[in-house]
């Protein structure tokens, strides 16, 4: 039985299609948006449209940014000799929150997952290899999630980099298997970074 009008139901349906938003949360958000002044709703929708239109991948590390080169890559105080490889911009942000890593990043924008038809060519591994040919990199820290796909991706990258003579390390355990980096607390992330192992 329909409780709401078509337009309210459509708004709830669209909100519930977002990750982590169930039907009750979608209803709460929908009614919150409807109660907001029109000016605030316009600012909200303008921010979404502006981000969707203007956010792109950094030409160097492939994180999401609204610039050609992201703030981290363009920061001259960062140590460019160490690159941390992460799955997503959210994972990069998780490490930035702890404030203890002064290197730069490379964002894969995914992991190898044969079950989903995602191979090495579907993520930014080729771009990482090109980057290593043109930059003086001493160490690559692989910080993919400890899921089956994250581990497989880490092993694949490690095997590719070993012949190049670049030190390859993996973040240490302490991050639970199947856990996503963006949800891990800062202390655990720091311990994983400090306890990384050479592959």
Residue 68 phi, psi dihedral angles, 5° rounding: -65, -45
Residues 172 and 87 in one domain: yes
- End-to-end, the C-alpha distance of the chain in Å comes to 58
- Residue 69 and residue 65: Cα distance in Å, rounded? 8
**What digits encode the pLDDT tens for the residues 12-40?**
999 999 999 999 999 999 999 999 999 99
Residues 138 and 187 in one domain: yes
Please indicate, yes or no, if residue 49 is contained in any of the structural domains: yes
- Residue 144 and residue 88: Cα distance in Å, rounded? 9
Q: What's the CA angle centered on 178, arms 172 and 181, to 5 degrees?
A: 60
Q: Are 140 and 166 in contact (CB under 8 A)?
A: yes
Total structural domains in the chain? Answer: 2
> Dihedral through CA 88, CA 61, CA 104, CA 130, nearest 10?
120
Residues 45 and 80 in one domain: no
How high is the pLDDT of residue 191? 67
Please indicate, yes or no, if residue 125 is contained in any of the structural domains: yes
What average pLDDT does this structure show over 140-156? 90
Q: Are 102 and 75 in contact (CB under 8 A)?
A: no
Please indicate, yes or no, if residue 187 is contained in any of the structural domains: yes
Q: Are 22 and 31 in contact (CB under 8 A)?
A: no
Q: Domain containing 98 — which CATH number? A: 3.40.1360.10
Residues 166 and 112 in one domain: yes
Residues 120 and 155 in one domain: yes
Could you tell me the residue range of the domain that residue 23 belongs to? 6-54
- Torsion sign over Cα 179, 183, 186, 189: positive
Residues 98 and 49 in one domain: no
pTM, full prediction: 0.79
Q: Domain containing 22 — which CATH number? A: 1.10.8.420
How high is the pLDDT of residue 146? 79
How high is the pLDDT of residue 1? 43
What average pLDDT does this structure show over 97-115? 93
If you write DSSP's letter for every residue of 49-84 in order, what string do you get? HHHHHH-EE-TTT--EESSSS-TTTT-TTS-TTEEE
Residues 127 and 97 in one domain: yes
Q: What's the CA angle centered on 44, arms 39 and 46, to 5 degrees?
A: 90
What is the chain's percent helix, strand, coil content, to nearest 5?
50, 15, 40
Residues 187 and 111 in one domain: yes
Residues 130 and 194 in one domain: yes
Please indicate, yes or no, if residue 145 is contained in any of the structural domains: yes
Q: How confident is the model at residue 130 (pLDDT cuts 50, 70, 90)?
A: very high
């Amino acid at each position: 039985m329909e409780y709401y009008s078509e337009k309210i139901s459509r708004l709830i349906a669209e909100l519930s299609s977002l990750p982590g938003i169930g039907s009750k949360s979608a209803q709460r958000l929908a009614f919150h948006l409807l109660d907001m002044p029109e000016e605030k709703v316009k600012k909200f929708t303008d921010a979404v449209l502006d981000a969707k239109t203007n956010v792109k991948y950094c030409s160097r590390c492939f994180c999401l940014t609204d610039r050609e080169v992201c703030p981290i890559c363009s920061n001259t105080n960062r140590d460019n000799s160490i690159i941390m490889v992460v799955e997503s911009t959210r994972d990069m942000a998780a490490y930035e929150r702890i404030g203890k890593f002064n290197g730069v990043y490379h964002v894969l924008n995914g992991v190898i997952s044969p079950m989903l038809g995602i191979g090495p060519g579907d993520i930014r591994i080729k771009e990482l290899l090109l980057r290593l040919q043109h930059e003086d990199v001493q160490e690559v820290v692989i910080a993919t999630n400890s899921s089956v796909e994250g581990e497989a991706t880490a092993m694949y990258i490690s095997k590719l980099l070993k012949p190049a003579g670049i030190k390859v390390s993996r973040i240490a355990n302490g991050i639970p298997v199947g856990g996503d980096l963006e949800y891990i607390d800062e202390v655990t992330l720091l311990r994983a970074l400090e306890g990384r192992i050479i592959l």
